[in-house]
Amino acid sequence: MNSIYIHIPFCEQKCFYCAFASFDKQFDKVEKYFNALKKEIDTSPFKLKIGSIFIGGGTPSAVNPCFIEQILRSVREKFQVEKDAEITLEANPNSLDEKKLKKYFEMGINRLSIGVQSLDNRQLKTLGRLHNRKQVFKVLKTAKKAGYKNINCDLLLGLERQNFFQLKREINSLKKYVTHFSCYMLQVEEGSPLKVMVEKGKVKLPQDDKVAQQYHKLAKFLKKNGFEQYEISNFASNGWLCRHNLNYWSRGNYLGFGLGAHSFIDGTRWANSSSFDDYFIGKKAFTEQLDNKQIVEEIVMLGLRCCLGFRLSQLKKYGVKLEKNPYFNEFLEKGVLKAENGVIKINPDYYGVSNLVIEKLIDF
């Protein structure tokens, strides 16, 4: 499958923990940005059949829906978009309303990814989020009424004063509205306002081992409630796995359009600049052709992050026999890894230490 990612870098307010290429107080650049985005799409040299489109940010729902409609039209004119393509829009609860939701649905957006993060108003304020608990449920109810069947909610783990009982309550409150949860560990990024607040003692975050325990409990609780874990941070009900993300993890081809967006086509990866001025003149951040070692590392790393796994035969094409790695056999014996018809997968119970497992396996 081939995918397209479209980056919308505008936000009403940049979250205190955010490290993505996103900007507040830059709405005067919206029209110029979308003109450049349209030009980038229109002049793409690739002719691909597209199975998924992901419109992320930033906060795509913070701009007028007419800009989103314009870009989707350009994509459909340039590429062959499958009739049943998964088309996702990232959105924040405070920037959604009934009118916008209906408009998005009419333009073919069939999946919403809503940045809930927490249902605790104090925690939301600490994170620099602009919405509150009440707005979350109002938006979810309105989205269901508008016709959306596939809705993801992002949640953050490792927040101040957060415990497993709070997480359980939040899942129980949200589960009847959504088909998918993305549960991420809060990262304290260098240069972020959150980093400063933590250093000054204004915010006290839980220890890593406590967060890891909550993560494992949450994974089991979600499974008990019908949400299967198919990747380290992602849980889906009734087969509603995110097709766009699965394409990334299986090393499928994808094109990224917009500020800082990455692309990967047949072993070559490149990225746009994260600066408005550089992006407007078409400057790239980098372009690289992956060598055999990098390809093997990606096959192992991406495969073990999710339910797909990888085939040993894939590695042998690049001259790597994983069976010679002593850690590989040890992990199989201990049940950390599972072998099914030549496909190697990580036991979901060990997703929390997957980075260590991957590090050992790619030491060749």
Q: Which domains are assigned to the chain?
A: 2-248 (3.20.20.70), 291-364 (1.10.10)
Q: 92: which 2 tokens?
A: 């924040």
Say if residue 164's pLDDT is above 80. yes
CA 182, 76, 43, 1 torsion-angle sign:
positive
The number of helix segments (H) and strand segments (E) in the chain equals 14, 17
C-alpha atoms less than 13 angstroms from C-alpha of 178 in its C-beta half-sphere: 31
CA 43, 45, 51, 56 torsion-angle sign:
negative
* Three-state helix/strand/coil letters over 106-168: HCCCCEEEEEEECCCHHHHHHHCCCCCHHHHHHHHHHHHHHCCCEEEEEEEECCCCCCHHHHH
The string of pLDDT tens digits covering residues 90-131 is 999 999 999 999 999 999 999 999 999 999 999 999 999 999
Cβ contact 158:186 at 8 Å: yes
Nearest to 325 by CA among 357, 349, 285: 357
Distance CA 171, CA 157 (A): 13
Q: Which residues contact 205 (CB under 8 A, 6 or more apart)?
A: 158, 159, 160, 186, 188, 198
Q: What pLDDT does 21 receive?
A: 73
Q: What pLDDT does 190 receive?
A: 87
Q: What pLDDT does 364 receive?
A: 67
75: amino acid identity, one letter: V
Cβ contact 246:271 at 8 Å: no
Percent of the chain with pLDDT over 70: 100
Distance CA 261, CA 250 (A): 19
The string of pLDDT tens digits covering residues 175-211 is 999 999 999 999 988 888 999 999 999 999 999 889 9
* Mean local confidence (pLDDT), 317-327: 89
CA 232, 271, 2, 250 torsion-angle sign:
negative
User: How many angstroms from the chain centroid is the CA of residue 299?
Assistant: 19
Q: 219: which 2 tokens?
A: 């994974």
Composition of the chain by helix, strand, coil, percent to 5: 45, 25, 30
Question: What are the b/e assignments for 199-220, b being 16+ CB within 10 Å?
Answer: eeeebebbeeeebbebbeebbe
Q: What pLDDT does 348 receive?
A: 86
Secondary structure (3-state) at 2 = strand
* Mean local confidence (pLDDT), 67-71: 98
